[in-house]
Amino acid sequence: MDTAYLSTPPGNQSAGTPLVAIRQVSKRFANGTLAVRDVDLELGAGQFISLLGPSGCGKSTLLRMIAGLGAPSSGTIAWPGETGAAQGSAGRGARDLGFVFQDPTLMPWANALANVMLPLKLKGVARAESEARAAEMLALVGLKGFETSYPRELSGGMKMRVSIARALVMRPKILLMDEPFAALDEITRHRLNDDLLALWERERFTAVFVTHSVFESVYLSQRIVVMAARPGRVMADLSVDAAYPRDELFRTSGEYARLCRVASTTLKEAIGR
Amino acid sequence: MSAPVETLRSDGTDAQALPVAMAEARILGLPASIWPRILAPIVIGVIVLALWEFAVRWNDIPHYVLPGPILVGQTLIADWGTLSGSLWVTLKITFMALAAAVVVGVTLAVLFSQSKWLEMALLPYAVILQVTPIVAIAPLIIIWANDIDLSLLICAWIVAFFPILSNTILGLNSADHNLVNLFELYGASRWQTLRYLKLPAALPYFLAGLKISGGLALIGAVVAEFVAGTGGSASGLAYRILEAGYQLKIPRVFAALVMISLSGIAIFLATSLISYLLLRRWHESAIRREN
């Protein structure tokens, strides 16, 4: 394995206190399925991390547990940087995070601006201020001029942009994404990948990106957590040492191809071919 | 868009491609494509009425058996004073019953969505109310209510409220589960989830219920009047039909029937219009397809 570019880091690779510390987390569903088993993971502040694995490997379940949607059956998910008040179970909804679902999950009765304003409205931010912040966020995802468009009037990629704008409008510390671009065509997906990286380099939130695409995970992330199914567990933790900004040049480079090959091999080993 | 957007583009769709109202040829201020929908039923109606008139005259059918449409029209005009008063009585009952159905139906649906226990306990009784034939219990209601207008109102309300209740319950439970999760993530209160998510999601279902209930309220009012018979002081259209029937004034029976039908059609059109106006921006049912 070419450790100069793609290496297995010794344990936690983030310097200082991690943003999220996942300790021995397992999740068993009511029907008895063990979705996630004994996951240990630390998410460093400002990192771009991909959870890569085949379907059924529990990566979405893990992501939802990080978000606070469904508690682990055992183990803990701690936010070391937070004060005691937000630490307990009463802290639901108090987490400083954004979430992007696989579907855009927009309210069809509200226009783009109102959809992006939703988190601010729920937090009781004054209307004038939240309108300004939502409009700014829409411009940042490239949808300036589409404020009054309804979701049905937008293309799939544009709907996903609105969804990302909504997730980022509170300027969260961490953005959780659950296969957000899986349903999009390749051209749109590449553009959104580029734009997501540009946003990340600008805002420097922690990004956790669930995907089953080796190419997508290598292109986007600094770190790839490889998972295997039945039961869902972490098999490898790779770091991708290519420099940012990454662009079309990187996507067509030999280095990218080699990184993909290594990641692909690791994934195949992890899931036992 | 003219303003440069930093780092990002709008993908997939041309940025200029904001929805544009298609310029369509218009006749008398209405889009040309609407006219067949208006004219076709009118033409059929005129043909049927002409055949009816012709058949009545050709066979010399006496007007106390079957009056021709022209005679019905003349009676409608001649008896307008009496009939319009009765129409007003019936419509008043209808609209009050519909309003009560909306208030009670939506309130119960919201309460049920907040408490599964309440739904389990009360929904069966709503169903019982719905499946019991109104003609069978109307006499009881008239005895108990001890006021003819109130009992008519109760009867029409019983008939009208269930579609609204049932549809609104379905709508409140149909909110996108991921959106429910999202509201949870942002710590939305019950009230916020209801106000900003569940009620808007339920709106198309509620409106579908309203369309059904509008017609049912009218039917309920008329049926209740029939059962109540001549008891009322201010009498509705059903009473006029009974009265005219006893006196063999069959053209007047038909005139009253025409008024009831037209009222029903007007209520349907009104509820359809309300539904269209509220949903046209976003709901699939109100969007005209190109392909």
ipTM of the complex: 0.87
Average pLDDT, integer, range A17-30: 89
Whether residues A42 and A30 fall in one domain:
yes
Residue A75 and residue A118 share a domain? no
Nearest Cα neighbor of A105 from B145, B197, B58, B71 is: B197
For residue B220, the tally of other CB atoms under 10 A from its CB is 28
Sign of CA dihedral A120, A125, A130, A131: positive
Which of A138, A172, A206 represents a domain boundary (last residue)?
A172
Chain B residues with CB under 8 Å of A107 CB are 179, 196-197, 200
B108 close to B122: Cβ distance less than 8 angstroms? yes
Report the alpha-carbon distance of residue A153 to residue A146 in Å, rounded.
Answer: 10
Tell me how crowded residue B210 is: count the other CB atoms within 10 A of its CB. Answer: 24
Full set of structural domains in chain B with CATH = 67-280 (1.10.3720.10)
What domain count does chain A have? 2
Lowest mean pLDDT among A88-92, A203-207, A236-240: A88-92
Highest mean pLDDT among B113-122, B139-148, B195-204: B195-204
Q: What are the tens digits of pLDDT across the range A138-189?
A: 999 999 999 999 999 999 999 999 999 999 999 999 999 999 998 899 999 9
**Beta strands A48-52; B26-27: pairing state:** unpaired
A209 or B2, higher pLDDT: A209
Question: Closest-CA residue in chain B for A202?
Answer: B7
How far B11 CA sits from the closest chain A CA (Å)? 6
- Is the pLDDT at B14 greater than 50? The verdict is no
pLDDT surpassing 80 at residue A84? no
A161 and A118 within one domain = yes
- For residue B44, the surrounding DSSP H or E stretch is helix B35-58
Q: How far is CA A183 from CA A103, A104, A188, A213, in A?
A: 8, 10, 10, 12
Evaluate whether residue A10 is within a structural domain.
Answer: no
Beta bridge partners of B226: none
CB A63 within 8 A of CB A98: no
| Token digits of residue A270 | 């992890």
Cβ within 8 Å of residue A157, ≥6 positions away: A184, A188, A191, A192, B11, B12
Confirm whether A5 is domain-assigned. Answer: no
Q: Exposure pattern of B223-248 as b/e (b: 16+ CB <10 Å)?
A: bbbebbeeebeebbbbbbbbbbeeee
Q: How far apart are CA A152 and CA A162, in angstroms?
A: 12
Same-domain status, A273 and A202: yes
A94 occurs within a structural domain: no
What is the SS3 assignment for B86? helix
Residue A23 lies in a domain: yes
Q: Which of B3, B11, B176 sits opposite A188 (nearest CB)?
A: B11
The whole-number pLDDT of residue B78 equals: 94
Average the pLDDT over each of B207-211, B242-246, B260-264 and give the range with the smallest value: B242-246
Q: What is the pLDDT of residues B80-120, one digit of tens each?
A: 998 999 999 999 999 999 999 999 999 999 999 999 899 99
Q: Note whether A173 and A11 are within 8 A (CB).
A: no
Per-residue pLDDT at A90 exceeds 60: no
A55 with A185, same domain? yes
| pLDDT category of residue A14 using cuts at 50, 70 and 90 | very low
Q: Enter the DSSP assignment of A184.
A: S
Token pair of B13, please? 């769709």
Helix B80-114 and helix B199-228, axial crossing angle in degrees, nearest 10: 140
Report helix, strand or coil for A76.
Answer: strand
**pTM, 2 dp:** 0.84
Nearest CB neighbour to A69, from listed B13, B181, B196: B181
Q: Given pLDDT bands bounded at 50, 70 and 90, which one contains residue A92?
A: low
Say whether pLDDT at B287 is over 60. yes
> Measured between beta carbons, which residues in chain B are less than 8 angstroms from residue A123?
186-187
CATH number, position A201:
3.40.50.300
Chain A residues touching residue B196 (CB < 8 angstroms): 107, 118, 121-122
Cβ-contact A209, A48 below 8 angstroms: yes
Handedness of CA B141, B146, B148, B151 (dihedral sign): negative
Beta bridge mates, B145: none
End-to-end CA distance of chain A: 17
On average, the pLDDT of chain B sits at 87
Do A156 and A202 lie in one domain? The reply is no
CB neighbours of A159 closer than 8 A, spacing ≥ 6? A104, A106, A151
CA–CA dist B141, B175 (Å, integer): 38
User: What would the pLDDT profile of B160-180 be if each residue is shown by its tens digit?
Assistant: 999 999 999 999 999 999 999
Kindly state whether residues A46 and A137 are assigned to the same domain.
no
Q: Is residue B26 scored above 90 in pLDDT? A: no
- Please list every residue in chain B whose beta carbon sits closer than 8 Å to the beta carbon of residue A105: 176, 178-179, 182
Query: With bands split at pLDDT 50, 70 and 90, how would you rate the model's confidence at A121?
Result: very high
The verdict on A166 and A177 lying in the same domain is no
Q: How would residue A213 be classed by pLDDT, with cut points 50, 70 and 90?
A: very high
- What is the model's pLDDT at position B24? 66
Q: Is residue A2 in some structural domain?
A: no
According to the model, what pLDDT value does residue B226 have? 87
Mutation to test the A interface, candidates B185, B207, B288, most A Cβ within 10 Å: B185
Q: What confidence tier does B288 reach under pLDDT thresholds 50, 70, 90?
A: low
Say if A56 falls within a structural domain. Answer: yes
Residue B200 above 90 pLDDT?
yes
pLDDT of A43 above 50: yes
- Judgement on whether residues A49 and A69 belong to the same structural domain of the protein: yes
Residue A50 shares a structural domain with residue A183:
yes
Comparing A84 with A101, the larger pLDDT belongs to: A101
Residues from chain A contacting residue B284 (CB–CB below 8 Å) = 152
Greater confidence, B15 or A69?
A: A69
Instruction: Of A58-67, A129-138, B27-36, give the lowest mean pLDDT range.
Output: B27-36
Give yes or no: residues A75 and A198 share one domain. yes
Model pLDDT, residue B149: 86
pLDDT digits (tens, 9 = 90+) for B121-142: 998 998 888 888 888 888 888 8
The C-alpha of A144 sits at a distance from chain B's nearest C-alpha, in angstroms, of 7
Q: Is the pLDDT of residue B36 over 60?
A: yes
Q: Search chain A and give the residue with CA nearest B182.
A: A99
Q: Domain boundary residue among A150, A172, A194?
A: A172
Query: d(Cα B196, Cα B186) in Å, to the nearest integer?
Result: 13
Domain coverage including residue A112: 108-172
- Residue of A174, A186, A258 whose CA lies nearest to A216: A186
Of B19-23, B255-259, B287-291, the least confident: B19-23
Q: Is A210 helix (H, G, I), strand (E, B) or coil?
A: strand
Q: Are B106 and B168 in contact (CB under 8 A)?
A: yes
CA atoms of B117 and B112, how far apart (whole Å): 8
For chain A, give the mean pLDDT: 87
Is the preceding omega at residue A245 within 30 degrees of 0, hence cis?
Answer: yes
Indicate whether A58 and A117 sit together in one domain.
Answer: no
Final residue of a structural domain among A120, A141, A172: A172
Domain membership flag for residue A92: no
| E strand map for chain A | 6-7, 20-28, 34-43, 48-52, 74-78, 97-100, 174-178, 206-211, 223-228, 233-240
Confidence tier at A4 by pLDDT (50, 70, 90) = very low
pLDDT at A270: 82
Q: In this prediction, what percent of chain B has a pLDDT beyond 90?
A: 63
